[in-house]
Each structure stands twice: as C-alpha cells, then as structure tokens.
Amino acid sequence: MSIPRTAASYAAYVATPVLMVNWLASRSYTKALALVVFFAIAAGLNWGLGLLISPTAWVLELALVLPFLAAALGFVPASYFNGRMLIRTLNVVLFATSLISLTEEGFPFLLPYIHFLPDLYNGGFGDGGAKIVTVVGFFGLAEALSREGRPTLWNRAIVTIAGLNFLMPNFILGIAAGAFALAIFARRNRALIFAAAAAAMVVVPYLQYRAETIDNAFTEYYGAHPKLYAVGLVGQVYYNEPHAILVGTGIGQFSSQPALWASPINNWVNTHKPPLLPGLFSSEAHSEYLAPLLLRFRDRRFAIESSANKPYSGVTQLLIEMGLPLTVLILYSAYVLFWRRGGGDLGRSVFLFLIAINMLDPQVDSPWFGVMLFATLEAIRRDARIRLTRRREADDDGGAFLPRPPDPHARPIPAE
C-alpha cells in the first residue's frame, strides 16, 4: 500500500485487501457474492433502460470499493492479519517516504507551508498523495490513543509520527473531519486537549488563509456551495431516473474514481493520464449530470480543483451509484460494527471519521481508506477476543478459590 502510484501499482493496492479477508468464511463469500449479483443486476437494468454503461469502469470500481465494503459489511479478517500492526507499519513507512519527498525540496533548510506547498508531504504518492497520508495518519492516531495500559516509548513515537502524517499535508477537509472524530478521546485523555490546542495555534491561521483565498466561482455561478449542490444533484438524478433510487446508476458510472478517469474534464484538471483501457469511457449518467458542471470551469481549474469545491462526496456517490437501500444498509452496518459493537473509543472515532470525511470528500473507493477501515475492524475484533479471554480466565481463577453462592432453589437440608 505504500508503493508509488502508477497504473500498474493499482493491482497491488487491490491485492492487499483480497489477502486480508478470510474468503472461506461464509460471512465473507456470501456477502461478496450478494454484492456482485446486486451490482450486476443494477448494471443490467440501467443498460436495459438505454443508459450507456462503461463495463471497464464497473470492474475497476468493484475492485476499488471492495476494501470499504468489506469493512462496512463485516467480512471476516484472515487469521494471520493483524490490523494494529498494519496501521502502525504504514504510518512509519509513509512518514519516512514523506521526509524523503521533503528532503528533495530542500528540507530542513526549506520548510513546508513557508517555502513550498505542504502537498509535497505526500508519502511518495505524487500529486494528490497528501490525502492518503492524512487519512493514514488519522487511523494511526486513533489506534495509538486507543491502546490500553501505560503508554510505552514506542507508543508515544507512533503518536508523534501519526500526528505529523495527519497534520502536515494540505488536506484541510480530512484534517477537519479527523479532528472532529478524535475529539472523542479527550474524555479520558486530558493531554490530548493541550496537544490539540498547540496544533490549532499552528494550523488554524493557515485554515483561515485557505478559507479566504479559496475560489468561489462554483458557488457564485450556481448559487450554492458545491457540497450542498451535490445533495440537490442526488434529488435531481432520483427524479429523472426513478429506478436509481433502488439500484443506483451503477458502480463506477457517476463520480467514482473510474468515472473521473474517463471524464472529459480529466484532460483539464488532472495531471495524471487516464489509463487507456478498452471499455473505459464516460458513462451517460456522468456525462448528463456531472460533466457539464465540471466542464463549465475547464478554463478555470482552481474553481473545482480543491476537494472543497467538488460537487460530489462519498455519501452522494453511494446514493447515486448504489441506490438508497444499499447505502442505508452499508452505513447502518458500519454503525453497528464500529459504534455499537466497537468496544470503545477506537470504533466510535473511526465511525465518526467515516461519516464526516465522506460527507466532504469521496473516500469510499480509496483503497487506503478501505484498508485502514478493515484493519480497524480486525483490531476491534481482536481486542474483543482478548477481553473475553481475560474475563474467562478471571472467572476460572475466582471460581477455584471462592465459595459458590447458595442456590435459592436448593432443597433445605433437614436438621439431625
């Protein structure tokens, strides 16, 4: 998951979650089979109604969204997979590769945010890679802060490394969503409040500067903020395509990563060349509803280049591409797994982050977000097994030495 991004390396990003899942467990393969059948029926229905569907985008999106769906729907992790170790290892590797990227720009004699853009703290992923580092940094902080027992030197080092990964890049929406989710740890970690205050003194002035300098061309032209406009766009699609309420327009066909790769706007706003694959083209749903909004600003790329200015999000992507029932099922399942059964602050903070960031930016088909989410699910289940084992051991030890309480239903022993 830490190798540089190229067209070929996406195969490795997809292979990682495949190896993390126990596909022999019925809770994994039955859910996976049901999803593939549903997505195939949805694509067939859209095609039957005359909508142009890109089969290659469908396949690519199925591979990219798999880690997120595996975590949100509770696939069974492989027995050899350790979620906490993966989260920590990836944070350390991205920290090291980000420092290498900064060194190439003259660090430590030149500093990010001062002499060059902080986007170069990108883990070696290139343009847009800062998003990935911020997301991985959040999960690293949540994992380290949720550890029980007295913090070790290594644990404190991980907090520092993950904190730098989280704060250093220029992904403002991710930092805001992560800060909102991490606030849940302040209930039992007072030092976190002082650390957050210190970080805010550095970050908030930059956030204010970005808010004042952001391009508002989209809002001025359409009369609504892009994220609010995205919600209205869901209603527009549902009104014009009523079947999309139940099955969506098809995965990979609207605002997901493959749809954007094939979009005509890609030639203006993206520095990466789209993969030249047969069957990868702009679908009808994207061309009719989303592409015109983006193409209007093809000569003013900064109006839609920022994550805050894109008229779509992770939640609207689910609603339009997968339909309302499946979206509700996915989010409710994630709520049950991470909030109700999460066993503590780790699961709850991750669930809050899942909702918050996907209301602002599409992360559901980011392999890194999905892998970190699945790693958290494995950590939650492993922690639950450890707690259960400890309770059983405590009960066994106590039962061997303590007298049993009297049975209220036992017959009294007659006096002699």
Q: Which 3 state secondary structure label does DSSP give 36?
A: helix
State the pLDDT at residue 329: 96
Q: Are 291 and 263 in contact (CB under 8 A)?
A: yes
State the pLDDT at residue 68: 96
Q: Which residues contact 59 (CB under 8 A, 6 or more apart)?
A: 252
State the pLDDT at residue 253: 94
Q: What is the CA radius of gyration of the chain?
A: 24
Q: Which residues contact 277 (CB under 8 A, 6 or more apart)?
A: 56, 60
Within a domain: residue 68? yes
Name the DSSP letter for residue 185: G
State the pLDDT at residue 300: 77
Within a domain: residue 224? no
pTM: 0.88
Number of domains in the chain: 1
Within a domain: residue 116? yes
Q: Are 371 and 137 in contact (CB under 8 A)?
A: no
CA distances from 368 to 4, 122, 136, 241 (A): 13, 13, 7, 32
Distance between CA atoms of residues 342 and 378, nearest Å: 11
Per DSSP, helices labelled H in 105-152 are 129-145
Phi/psi at 239 (nearest 5 deg)?
-70, -45
Within a domain: residue 300? no
Element (H, E) at 180: helix 172-182
Range of the structural domain that residue 176 is part of: 10-216+313-389
Distance between CA atoms of residues 101 and 88, nearest Å: 20
Distance between CA atoms of residues 323 and 39, nearest Å: 10
Within a domain: residue 394? no
Place of tokens 């993950």: 162
State the pLDDT at residue 415: 47
Within a domain: residue 255? no
Within a domain: residue 304? no
Q: What angle do CA 236, 221, 281 make, to 5 degrees?
A: 55
C-beta atoms surrounding 365 within 10 Å: 28
Within a domain: residue 135? yes
pLDDT in tens, the chain (416 residues): 888 887 778 888 888 888 999 999 999 999 999 999 999 999 999 999 988 999 999 999 999 999 999 999 999 999 999 999 999 999 999 999 999 888 888 888 877 777 777 788 888 888 788 899 999 999 999 999 888 777 778 888 999 999 999 988 888 889 889 989 998 887 776 666 666 666 666 666 666 666 666 778 888 888 888 999 999 999 999 999 999 999 999 999 999 999 988 888 877 666 556 667 888 898 999 999 999 988 888 777 777 877 888 899 999 999 999 999 999 999 999 999 999 887 788 999 999 999 999 999 999 999 999 999 999 999 999 888 888 888 887 777 665 444 545 554 445 544 44
Per DSSP, helices labelled H in 225-272 are 226-240, 244-247, 257-262, 266-269
State the pLDDT at residue 171: 85
